[in-house]
Structure 1
Amino acid sequence: MPQRRLVTSRSKEPRQRFAEELRKLRAQHGLSLRQLGDRLGWDYSLFGKMEKGETLGGPEVVQALDQFFGTQGMLLALWELATGDRTQFRERYRQYMALEADAVSLWHFAVSVLPGLLQTPAYAREVLAAGGLKGDELEQQVKARMGRRDLLTTDEAPTFRTILSEAALRTPLLGAGEWRAQLEYLAEAAERDNITIHVLPQSAGLHALMGFDVWYLLLPEGRTVVYTENGYRGELIEESAPVVRLQKAYDSVRDLAMSPSESRKYILRLLEEVSCESST
């Protein structure tokens, strides 16, 4: 495993340093650009541009490189220096991403947007574009998000349970065909052995998880951590007392939600509605 190098804000040319580190790490692993792309699931040309300094890529791409090379966040720290933006991918989110990769079980609640692990490319693109991304950066982030979906499809995939608010399922994409494809993907995902989907109906009223998305991760050593997120900030919670309170809140919301079989039927009914609307 490559040794972690010291990174400070005194680096004179952080963009050049970032590109150099990428080239060195790939050479140390004896990989071609195409082989690296195949291993990580991105077009190899992206890594070529990053090594030439033509683009910095996005935070999820760099996070994947850090995990692959075992550089413990060094590349992401250099990326932050090179972009001059330390708010785009904060330390707590970096920690969450590392923990997510190791989790043996995940629980999730979505207040307004479907979880990235269950998004289609079109859905991810529209959500990310609404957040201000565009051009190459937008496409890089879409690819990165699609790469994260592999977490649920490997032989050792964690179990994943999500509660989707009815509002999230009633907010369609601009294109009826793309929204239909997203609903089809959800219906298919609900049939996998390791994925459980609940729908929380609007009629459930006010509940304990109003106003934010929340992720619960059960780690191999048996402890649970929680990541909460709203439109402005995210917070990683590891202290046992607040984690227990949030687990109880999640259980109370799950009690208000539809069963997995009812939820899948609900998604299929939405799919029928979209199909009928697009055919008229």
Structure 2
Amino acid sequence: MAPRSNPSERQRRLGAELRKLRVRAGLSGERAAAILDADRARISNIETGRIDVSRNRLYKVLQEYGCPPGPYFDGLMAMAQEKGTGWWGAFSDTIGPAARDLAELESRSALLRTHEPLVIPGMLQTEEYARAVLEATEGDPQRADRYAEFRLARQQVLTGASPATFRAVIHEAALHTHVGGATVMRRQLLRLMEVSRLPNVSVQVYPFEAGIYSAHTQSFVIYGGAAPELDTVYLEHPTNSLFLQDVDQLDEYAKMFERLSELALAPVDPESAPESHESRDSLSLIQHVMYAL
């Protein structure tokens, strides 16, 4: 089989992890080729995600590379078994490879942490809010409708049979930025409170008075892998979105999120009575903005 020209994020990540393990073990590409009874070019293609490696061969390689049994070992084995097929394939007519990579990444993540300074996170958007955002960025209403449908389908990771834990820190500016008009915004803010009733969802608002830390932090999502080493940071960009996997970068973004969470207001708790709010929290701020619309 000829090497693929455009490997998916999962395929690239698996290859990158194998290269990291090989280098850490002090093994050359030639030695890795000998382990698999292959040539050096095949090892290069495996490590760039251009060629798959079977589970049996991967098991042998991981043992030779000194990777101990555990979540990381099992996570790599699971990545090799996945075929990259899922509900997102139905959107291939419109949605590009990067967006489909994102949906696949979300499908295998147990924990999602996101910071949004200007808009409501996509995972929490209503259909009309999502469409208004996408119409402003896409320009083509039909294309925006298709992207909105895709975005809503992605939200199933919060409500499926094994829902992911979702933590969001949203800057207060996103609550005040009118998207689609007052009615759309009121419904969107109601949606924020409703989805926060889910036991796996936490929503915090970063208030203006907390200072400039959030303002100097771009939007990002941290996707939790089977082991911390397999976490991924996603940075959305209009022309070239990034999937970060370097250990130091992962650690930096994890610390950044925790700092944002510390500075933000207490999480939304829609079950609490208004009179129980002894101090300002995320719920009271969302309600205040909503009633002022």
Residue 243 to residue 172, structure 1, CA distance change in 2 (3 Å): same
Determine if contact 2:133/2:179 at 8 Å carries over to the other structure.
Answer: no
C-alpha distance in structure 1 between counterparts of 2:215 and 2:253, whole Å: 8
The residue number in structure 2 matching 1:99 is 105
Letter in 1 for 2:85: Q
C-alpha distance in structure 1 between counterparts of 2:2 and 2:290, whole Å: 51
The residue number in structure 2 matching 1:22 is none
Determine if contact 1:151/1:157 at 8 Å carries over to the other structure.
Answer: yes
Describe the SS at the equivalent of 2:223. Answer: strand
C-alpha distance in structure 2 between counterparts of 1:232 and 1:169, whole Å: 26
Determine if contact 1:212/1:230 at 8 Å carries over to the other structure.
Answer: no
C-alpha distance in structure 1 between counterparts of 2:161 and 2:115, whole Å: 25
C-alpha distance in structure 1 between counterparts of 2:154 and 2:111, whole Å: 15
Residue 264 to residue 130, structure 1, CA distance change in 2 (3 Å): same
Deviating 4+ runs (over 6 angstroms): 4-9
Shifted more, 265-274 versus 144-153: the winner is 265-274
Determine if contact 2:110/2:224 at 8 Å carries over to the other structure.
Answer: yes
> How large is the Cα RMSD of the aligned pairs?
2.9
Which TM-score applies when normalising by structure 1? 0.64
C-alpha distance in structure 1 between counterparts of 2:103 and 2:211, whole Å: 32
Letter in 2 for 1:67: T
Shifted more, 236-245 versus 225-234: the winner is 225-234
Question: Structure 1 residue 260 and structure 2 residue 270: aligned?
Answer: no
The residue number in structure 1 matching 2:198 is 192
2:207 counterpart (201, 204, 217): 201
- Aligned positions of 1:1-80 closer than 5 A: 67-68=85-86
Question: Structure 1 residue 229 and structure 2 residue 248: aligned?
Answer: no
Residue 174 to residue 138, structure 1, CA distance change in 2 (3 Å): closer
- Aligned positions of 1:205-220 closer than 5 A: 205-207=211-213, 210-220=216-226
Determine if contact 1:111/1:210 at 8 Å carries over to the other structure.
Answer: no
C-alpha distance in structure 1 between counterparts of 2:114 and 2:251, whole Å: 15
Aligned length: 203
Q: CA deviation at 1:136?
A: 2.1
C-alpha distance in structure 2 between counterparts of 1:226 and 1:175, whole Å: 32
Residue 187 to residue 135, structure 1, CA distance change in 2 (3 Å): same
Describe the SS at the equivalent of 1:199. Answer: strand
Question: Structure 1 residue 138 and structure 2 residue 149: aligned?
Answer: no
C-alpha distance in structure 1 between counterparts of 2:97 and 2:169, whole Å: 26
Letter in 2 for 1:176: A
Residue 159 to residue 5, structure 1, CA distance change in 2 (3 Å): farther
Q: CA deviation at 1:96?
A: 3.3
Residue 90 to residue 264, structure 1, CA distance change in 2 (3 Å): same
- Computing the radius of gyration from Cα coordinates, the structure with the larger value is 2
The residue number in structure 2 matching 1:244 is 251
C-alpha distance in structure 2 between counterparts of 1:69 and 1:257, whole Å: 35
Determine if contact 2:233/2:245 at 8 Å carries over to the other structure.
Answer: yes
C-alpha distance in structure 2 between counterparts of 1:271 and 1:209, whole Å: 22
Describe the SS at the equivalent of 1:108. Answer: strand
Question: Structure 1 residue 113 and structure 2 residue 132: aligned?
Answer: no
Identity %: 25
